[in-house]
Amino acid sequence: MTDRRRPLVFIVALLVAAVLLQLARERLYAQDLPAADDLLYVRSEAVIQRTALSYDAVLGDAYWIRTLQYFGRGRLHPDGSHFVLLYPLLDLTTSLDPKFIVAYRFGAIFLTEPYPDGAGRPDLAVKLLQKGIATNPSRWELFHDVGFIYYWHLHDYKNAASWFDRGAEMPGAPWWLRTYAAVMLTRGGDRQASRFMWQNILRSATNSWLKQSAERRLAQLDALDQIDQLTQIVGAFNRRSAKPAETWNDLVSAGILRGTPLDPAGTPYELIPVVGHVELSAESPLFPLPTEPLPGQPPALR
C-alpha cells in the first residue's frame, strides 16, 4: 500500500467501524431508543410564511411530503390518534403554497374518510376547501369537492346542490356539474346518482390514487346492489322452506345459488342465520360499506 492511499484506507475503516458500532447499539439497546413522536414545531402560518423568505413554495412541498408520510404511516399503523396533526399540516402546506390545488383536494379526501382510512372530519375538509376557494375562486374542482362532501359524507343534499351549482358557474366547469345539482335536489341519496358521480370521477381522475379510490367506491356500490339481491333470495328461501338458511351451502344444495357468493373484491359475503341478513365480510377490502340514508328521512336527521 502506498503512503498516499494509507490515510484513505484508515478513513474507510473508521467509517465502517462507526457504522458497526451504531448497529450494535441499536441491537443491544433497542427498547431505550426514543420513539419518533409526531411533532409540529411551527403552527402559525404567518410565522412560517415570513421565515420562508422566497422559498415558501419549496417549503410547502416539504410540508406536503410530510403530510403524506404522516397520513400514510397512520393508515398503515393506526394508533387511535385520529390524525390530529393532519389539518394543521395541510393548513401550513396550503398557506405556504396557496395555489397548490392538489393539497386542498387530496387533503379534503384524507380529512373526510372515516377513521382509520382518514381523520373522519368532513367539517375540517370543508374548511380546507373553503380556504382554497378564497385564494383560487375560479377553480370549479374545489366547489365540486365541497359539494361532494355535503352529498356523500354529510347527506346534506340542499347544500351539496348549492355548491355544485356555484361550481358550474366557473369557467371551464364540465356540463355534468349542473346535472349533479339537479340530481341532488330531485333524487338525493339515490344509488344511481352516486354511481354516476363516481364514474365521472373515475373518468376524470388524473392520479392513480384517486382512480383506485373511485374504483373502490364503484365496487362498494355494486356490493350494495348484490347484497340487496342476495337478501331477497335468502328471504324467499326462508319463506318457502321449513328451516331458515344457516349457511350459503343450504342455498347451493337447493340449487338456488351455484356457489358461495363473492363480493366484487372476491371475498365471500356473510349470511347471518335466522334473520336472513346478508353482510359484507369484515375481511373484505371493500369493508366498511358507505352508509346510505333511509328513504324519506329529512337531511337534518341523517
Partner 1 sequence: MRAIGYIAVNVFKESVRDKVLYNLVFFAVLLIGISFLLGQLTAGQDIKVIKDLGLAAISVFGLFISVFIGIGLVSKEVDRRSIYSLLSKPISRQQFIIGKYVGLVLTLLVNVSVMTLAYYVVLGGMAWVAGGWFLPAWEAPAVDPALLKAVAMIFLQLMMITALALLFSTFSSPILSAALTFGLYIAGHFNADLHHFDTVVASKPAGWLAKVLYYLLPNLSPLDIKAQVVHAIPVPAGYLLLNTAYALVYVTALLMGATAIFMRRDFK
Q: Which stretch binds partner 1 (CB under 8 A): 51-59, 184-192, 193-201, 261-269?
A: 51-59
Least separation in angstroms between CB 58 and partner 1: 4
Q: Binder to partner 1 among 28, 53, 76, 282 (CB under 8 A)? A: 53
Q: Which stretch binds partner 1 (CB under 8 A): 30-38, 48-56, 121-129, 271-279?
A: 48-56
Q: Binder to partner 1 among 2, 5, 28, 54 (CB under 8 A)? A: 54
Burial 152-187 (b: 16+ CB within 10 A, else e): bbbbbbebbbbbbbbbbebeebeebbebbbebbeee
Is 111 in contact with 90 (CB distance < 8 Å)?
yes
Least separation in angstroms between CB 185 and partner 1: 30
Asked whether position 208 contacts partner 1 by CB under 8 A, the answer is yes
Place of cell 379526501: 109
Asked whether position 206 contacts partner 1 by CB under 8 A, the answer is yes
Specify the residue, 138 or 253, whose C-beta has the smaller distance to partner 1: 138
Specify the residue, 64 or 150, whose C-beta has the smaller distance to partner 1: 64
Cα 267 vs. chain centroid, distance in angstroms?
Answer: 21
Rounded to 10 degrees, what is the CA torsion of 76, 78, 79, 83? 100
Specify the residue, 52 or 256, whose C-beta has the smaller distance to partner 1: 52
Is 122 in contact with 132 (CB distance < 8 Å)?
no
* Separation CA 258–CA 233 (nearest Å): 13
The residues in 80-119 that bind partner 1, with binding defined as CB under 8 A, are 97, 99-102, 106
* Separation CA 226–CA 15 (nearest Å): 62
Asked whether position 56 contacts partner 1 by CB under 8 A, the answer is yes
Q: Dihedral sign, CA of 181, 184, 187, 189?
A: positive
The binding site for partner 1 (CB under 8 A) comprises: 50, 53-58, 60-61, 64-65, 68-69, 97, 99-102, 106, 206-209
